[in-house]
């Protein structure tokens, strides 16, 4: 068996390269492996023995032999025929992530593609030439065929690039940059469109967003606990050592540290309350479970970034294995899991937002200075309720479904592209839910003065008040909510990740 060598990069490396595209380079060792694999494919294309996708048709047409003279037309036709995506374009950042991940996969040296093709993709990224990719059309099994076909149409002078917020024909852009379209060689088109890079790009984006939002959710929960004057006992280390899930332990520790040296917490140590509602008391268990799910996807994403997911895979001069590395199930199931995890963070956040409105333990009803005449924050919780309900409807696992395609050749598919899109949709709703909880908790804290809070809480409250004033009488709250959402989307809150 041939020796398999891989050069791994991390999730952090992906984001570094996205921000510093001039650092994207193929070293000499990588170039040698790529060239060797390309030479192997050219020999296979000339061989009378049928090798899938190299000298045969694709999918259910795999038994149709293609002559060596027709292989270049075959690869061009592949990109054209598979560009069947529909719907709105994906975010340009996702397109760039797809290209980066595809470059990493192809540069492993098992795909039979020319260095020149990879150099062109690197040029695209470094010159901010981002292809337009429709969001829908992949079933996530024979690779993300349709979105990847759209992503790489510009290589052959077809398709579109982004030009600001508008689209521009790829051929026009290539001429502007004095670039000629490629004539694809044997297997190159197939190597480009076979793979999980659409699903992977969504997974990378989901992980990076939730890394921040999980920390923000802990901070938001700590502020709500402080505003509610809840007990810190459920966060004690000794309790969580008895059920030592890593996520639970981390959340309990973070909230303990976020509320350290709080005069407000000390002020009600001897109150007669026995226990708090679950949305306060069970924060470590709920947030912790979601953190555990995030940790799992972290692990899978790092594996997938460094995997070869096209087909067939060229192992040596004589072996091309037609396998299933393009199947998206490993990521699809985990993305469905993470969708539920993100949804649950929003679910418990809404319960805390509601709790602060009930007029309990010294807080006025609806957190209003003058309830009755003023509705205060009554209706903001309607918004969180709507978002939470929408998230629940998005939690049906896409990976539990499969519709046969390709005349039955592709008879089980992952639907992982839908898993990824839904996950990001739920996360976007979560950002809005947390924005509203932060508004509620900040208002609740105002009613606990003159008590002082812990340093992180005081700083967070001060930051919020620099952007959104305390609600003294009813006003249009949509403006406040949008300001908070914008701050969260830009990740400018200090969420104290070190705690």
- Which residues are known to be catalytic? 52
d(CA 12, CA 66): 42
DSSP state of 2: P
- Helices and strands (H and E) in the chain: how many: 19, 6
d(CA 60, CA 57): 8
> Using N-to-C axis directions, what is the helix angle for 197-228 and 455-467, rounded to 10°?
110
Residues in the chain: 499
Determine contact, residues 429/387, Cβ cutoff 8 Å. yes
Nearest residue to 30 (alpha-carbon basis) of 60, 11, 14, 8: 8
d(CA 254, CA 222): 9
Report the C-alpha dihedral over residues 144, 145, 150, 151, rounded to 10 degrees: 50
Cβ neighbours of 222 (radius 10 Å): 30
The helix (H) or strand (E) run that includes residue 293 is helix 283-305
d(CA 467, CA 459): 13
Cα angle vertex 226, ends 225, 232, to 5°?
A: 65
Burial class (CB in 10 A: 0-12, 13-18, 19+), 392: middle
């Amino acid at each position: 068996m041939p020796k398999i060598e891989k050069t791994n990069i991390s999730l952090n490396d992906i984001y570094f390269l996205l921000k510093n595209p001039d650092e994207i380079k193929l070293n000499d060792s990588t170039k040698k492996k790529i060239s060797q694999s390309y030479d192997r494919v050219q020999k296979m294309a000339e061989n009378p023995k049928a090798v899938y996708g190299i000298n045969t048709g694709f999918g259910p047409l795999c038994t149709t032999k293609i002559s060596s003279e027709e292989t270049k037309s075959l690869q061009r036709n592949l990109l054209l025929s598979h560009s069947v995506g529909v719907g709105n374009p994906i975010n340009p950042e996702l397109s760039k992530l797809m290209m980066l991940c595809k470059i990493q996969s192809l540069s492993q040296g098992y795909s039979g593609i020319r260095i020149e093709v990879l150099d062109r993709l690197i040029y695209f990224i470094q010159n901010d030439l981002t292809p337009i990719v429709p969001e829908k059309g992949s079933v996530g099994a024979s690779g993300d065929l349709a979105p990847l076909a759209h992503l790489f149409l510009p290589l052959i002078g077809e398709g579109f690039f982004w030009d600001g917020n508008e689209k521009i024909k790829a051929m026009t852009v290539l001429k502007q940059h004095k670039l000629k379209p490629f004539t694809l060689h044997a297997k190159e088109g197939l190597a480009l469109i076979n793979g999980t890079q659409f699903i992977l790009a969504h997974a990378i984006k989901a992980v990076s967003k939730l890394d921040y939002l999980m920390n923000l959710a802990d901070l938001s929960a700590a502020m709500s606990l402080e505003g509610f004057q809840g007990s810190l006992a459920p966060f004690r280390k000794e309790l969580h050592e008895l059920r030592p899930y890593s996520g639970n332990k981390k959340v309990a520790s973070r909230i303990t540290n976020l509320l350290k040296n709080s005069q407000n917490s000390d002020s009600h140590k001897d109150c007669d309350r026995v226990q708090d509602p679950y949305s306060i008391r069970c924060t470590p268990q709920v947030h912790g479970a979601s953190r555990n799910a995030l940790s799992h996807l972290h692990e899978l994403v790092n594996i997938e970034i460094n995997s070869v997911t096209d087909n067939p895979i060229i192992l040596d001069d004589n072996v091309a294995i037609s396998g299933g590395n393009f199947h998206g199930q490993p990521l699809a199931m985990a993305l469905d899991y993470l969708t539920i995890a993100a949804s649950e963070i929003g679910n418990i956040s809404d319960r805390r937002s509601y709790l602060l409105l009930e007029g309990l333990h010294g807080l006025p009803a609806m957190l209003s200075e003058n309830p009755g005449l003023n509705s205060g924050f009554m209706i903001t919780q309607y918004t969180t309720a709507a978002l939470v309900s929408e998230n629940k409807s998005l939690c049906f696992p896409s990976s539990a479904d499969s519709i046969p395609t390709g005349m039955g050749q592709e008879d089980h598919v992952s639907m992982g592209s839908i898993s990824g899109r839904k996950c990001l949709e739920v996360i976007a709703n979560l950002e809005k839910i947390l924005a509203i909880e932060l508004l509620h908790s900040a208002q609740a804290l105002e009613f606990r003065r003159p008590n002082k809070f812990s340093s992180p809480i005081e700083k967070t409250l001060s930051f919020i008040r620099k952007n959104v004033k305390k609600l003294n009488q009813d006003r249009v709250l949509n403006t406040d909510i949008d300001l908070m959402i914008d701050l969260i989307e830009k990740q400018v809150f200090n969420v104290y990740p070190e705690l």
